[in-house]
């Protein structure tokens, strides 16, 4: 945990942080089974601890598992936040499978910045589904299926309601050559992972096959000034860094 908090201290010049798999309460869940994995060593006050080391940022939290686990954004308090919203992209709000609690509703969280040049930053944590061992060895369970195709359809539908330039990023849990990713590209979103030749978004803490999960897309009107995978290893996902302006 100290390493994670130091990451935010070291990068406090960043204007917007987009975080997936964030706990904001839920002490009663610790020790229970979630998604096939015992919930041990869970930092149920994770969001508040991060917020304390970023006093110049405002936290926004959107749960998709019960009311205390989901997506968070921390936005610099000098930025003109016009709105903050969510859109359900898998199943319906509040859905949790009785057979597998890891199979639960998924959402997009989006913050729109106003002022002279309005733009939107949105992120998501895409559907994760365990696969049979013989499939897992090859694809890590990130290939297309009907649920993921429908999820991408909903993502496209929501982003097409945004009337100004936008950034879309997060842990999509998808392979680079999947139809689910191609659906986003076909409506004009620039895939920065592909465009910048990124060879993987996982750290050494991830030991399974397949080095892709995380993506960043930008719409027309976004000028990318810098995009890279940071070397910090505070998770099995590598941090993505994007600097942009409005063209």
- The confidence score (pLDDT) of residue 36 equals 52
Report the distance separating Cα 127 and Cα 65, nearest Å: 12
- Indicate the domain borders of the chain: 2-246
Report the distance separating Cα 63 and Cα 69, nearest Å: 5
Report the distance separating Cα 172 and Cα 180, nearest Å: 9
CB 168 within 8 A of CB 217: yes
> For 33-78, what is each residue's pLDDT tens digit?
554 556 667 788 999 999 999 999 999 999 999 999 999 999 999 9
Residue 42 is classified by DSSP as -
For the entire predicted model, the pTM comes to 0.92
Rg of the chain, C-alpha, whole Å: 17
Joined together, the tokens standing for residue 119 give 């733009």
> For 175-189, what is each residue's pLDDT tens digit?
999 999 999 999 999
- The confidence score (pLDDT) of residue 99 equals 81
- The confidence score (pLDDT) of residue 163 equals 94
The percent of the chain in helix, strand and coil, each rounded to the nearest 5, is 20, 35, 45
Joined together, the tokens standing for residue 91 give 């199943």
Question: In a structure prediction context, what are the per-residue pLDDT tens digits for the chain, which is 247 residues long?
Answer: 788 999 999 999 999 999 999 999 987 777 765 545 566 677 889 999 999 999 999 999 999 999 999 999 999 999 999 999 999 999 999 999 888 878 899 999 999 999 999 999 999 999 987 654 444 444 456 889 999 999 999 999 999 999 999 999 999 999 999 999 999 999 999 999 999 999 999 999 888 877 899 999 999 999 999 999 999 999 999 999 999 999 8
The class that CATH gives domain 2-246 is alpha beta
* Residue labelled with tokens 């930053």: 121
- The confidence score (pLDDT) of residue 61 equals 98
How far apart are the two ends of the chain, measured CA to CA in Å? 38
Report the distance separating Cα 73 and Cα 111, nearest Å: 8
Strand pairing report for 16-23 and 240-246: unpaired
CA-to-CA separations, 42 to 27, 32, 52, in angstroms, rounded: 9, 11, 18
CB 121 within 8 A of CB 111: yes
| Of residues 44, 49, 46, 110, the one with CA closest to residue 81 | 110
């Amino acid at each position: 945990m100290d390493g994670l908090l130091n990451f935010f201290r070291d990068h406090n010049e960043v204007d917007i942080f987009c975080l997936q798999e964030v706990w904001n309460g839920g002490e009663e869940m610790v020790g229970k089974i979630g998604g096939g994995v015992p919930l041990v060593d869970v930092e149920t006050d994770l969001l508040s601890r991060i917020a304390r080391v970023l006093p110049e940022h405002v936290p926004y939290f959107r749960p998709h598992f019960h009311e205390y686990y989901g997506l968070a954004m921390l936005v610099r308090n000098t930025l003109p936040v016009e709105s903050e919203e969510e859109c359900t992209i898998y199943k319906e709000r509040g859905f949790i499978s009785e057979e597998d609690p890891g199979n639960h509703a998924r959402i997009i969280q989006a913050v729109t910045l106003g002022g002279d040049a309005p733009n939107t930053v949105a992120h998501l944590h895409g559907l994760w589904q365990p696969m049979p061992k013989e499939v897992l060895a090859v694809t890590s369970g990130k290939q297309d299926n009907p649920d993921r195709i429908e999820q991408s359809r909903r993502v496209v539908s929501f982003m097409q309601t945004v009337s100004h330039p936008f950034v879309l990023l997060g842990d999509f849990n998808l392979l680079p050559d999947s139809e689910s990713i191609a659906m986003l590209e076909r409506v004009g979103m620039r895939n920065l992972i592909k465009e910048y030749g990124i060879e993987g978004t996982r750290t050494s803490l991830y030991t399974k096959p397949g080095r892709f999960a995380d993506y960043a897309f930008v719409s027309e009107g976004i000028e990318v000034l810098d995009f890279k995978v940071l070397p910090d290893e505070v998770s099995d996902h590598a941090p993505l860094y994007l600097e942009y302006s409005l063209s």
